[in-house]
């Protein structure tokens, strides 16, 4: 285990993430410009794709980081039977949920029940499919719908805020089921679908299009919000939520409804709108 990964166990995760939030939302031009310039240079951010390509025009780092893309920068796969990739980034892992367990990395896995915070919620995904997409700091940070769905419930599951970078994913047991996360349950025409917004170290917030800021405030108990009957339906490829810094989204599908696009595998670079899976 690397020194940084070892040290991360002792770090005050929420304090560091709260400090990162203060910097991200600061309207001090010196602070925002320094952060924007640093991230743009270090990670090679492609501003040509942004709806607003002028880095000096963003009043805060957070507004820069959650920037919109210009029209046409991403399009949904033309086959109407495909579930689309929910975000830019790269595939961390994808595959079948085997005996209720989700593969994280060599020697590491966790259960769907642990990820969702509820064993009953996980039952319908037994032997289903999962796809874990990592968003690096250079990526577009809005998460979209793989398929049209009506929001049924969200579950805010408290936890740690470990880094979700490759080193931590390879070494921290059950990482995605330990970090604070927002589980979003949708009903679709093929059955239930879940998108899990996983928090991470220095991620200063998760926001949804229907409820605004969901994380923080950081929680200590599981919090459920029932949206049944509210009529919140989001179309395939529509924006669902956003990260206020890089993190990970995990999509769960029930068994027997779809097959992953054959070219996808771990470490595969992906873009929003590309084919994730095809309905059977």
Tokens of 42: 């270090």
- Phi, psi (5° rounding) for residue 34? -65, -45
> CA 280 from chain center: how many Å?
25
Q: What is the pLDDT at residue 11?
A: 63
pLDDT digits (tens, 9 = 90+) for 234-245: 999 999 999 877
In whole angstroms, what is the distance from residue 254 CA to residue 138 CA?
31
Q: Are 273 and 237 in contact (CB under 8 A)?
A: yes
Helix 29-43, helix 13-24: angle, nearest 10: 110
Q: Active-site residue 88, yes or no?
A: yes
User: 8, 77, 88, 204: which one is catalytic?
Assistant: 88
Q: Are 133 and 90 in contact (CB under 8 A)?
A: yes
Q: How many CB atoms lie within 10 A of CB 126?
A: 15
Q: Active-site residue 247, yes or no?
A: yes
Q: What is the pLDDT at residue 213?
A: 87
Q: What is the pLDDT at residue 2?
A: 53
The single-letter DSSP state of residue 160 is B
User: 144, 156, 195, 204: which one is catalytic?
Assistant: 144
Low-confidence ranges of the chain (pLDDT < 50): 1
Q: What is the pLDDT at residue 229?
A: 97
Q: What is the pLDDT at residue 200?
A: 77
User: 8, 109, 204, 247: which one is catalytic?
Assistant: 247
Q: What is the pLDDT at residue 13?
A: 62
């Amino acid at each position: 285990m690397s020194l940084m990964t070892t040290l991360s166990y002792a770090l005050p995760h929420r304090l560091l993430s709260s400090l990162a939030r203060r910097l991200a939302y600061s309207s001090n031009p010196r602070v925002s410009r320094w952060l924007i310039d640093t991230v743009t240079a270090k990670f090679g951010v492609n501003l040509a794709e942004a709806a607003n390509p002028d880095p000096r025009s963003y009043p805060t780092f957070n507004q820069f980081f959650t920037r919109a893309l210009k029209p046409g920068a991403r399009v949904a796969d033309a086959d109407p039977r495909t579930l689309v990739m929910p975000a830019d980034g790269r595939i961390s892992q994808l595959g079948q949920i085997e005996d209720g367990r989700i593969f994280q990395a060599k020697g590491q896995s966790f259960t769907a029940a642990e990820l969702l915070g509820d064993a009953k919620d996980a039952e319908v995904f037994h032997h289903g499919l999962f796809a874990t997409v990592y968003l690096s700091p250079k990526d577009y940070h809005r998460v979209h719908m793989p398929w049209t769905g009506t929001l049924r419930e969200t579950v805010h599951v408290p936890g740690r805020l470990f880094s979700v970078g490759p080193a931590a994913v390879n070494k921290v047991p059950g990482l995605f089921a330990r970090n604070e996360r927002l589980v979003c349950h949708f009903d679709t025409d093929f059955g239930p679908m879940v998108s899990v917004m996983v928090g991470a170290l220095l991620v200063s917030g998760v926001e949804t299009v229907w409820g605004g800021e969901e994380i923080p405030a950081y929680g200590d108990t599981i919090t459920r919000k029932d949206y049944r009957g509210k009529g919140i339906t989001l179309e395939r490829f529509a924006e669902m939520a956003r990260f206020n810094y890089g993190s990970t989204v995990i999509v769960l599908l029930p068994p027997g409804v779809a097959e992953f696009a054959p070219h996808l595998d771990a470490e595969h670079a992906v873009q929003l709108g590309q084919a994730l899976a095809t309905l059977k």
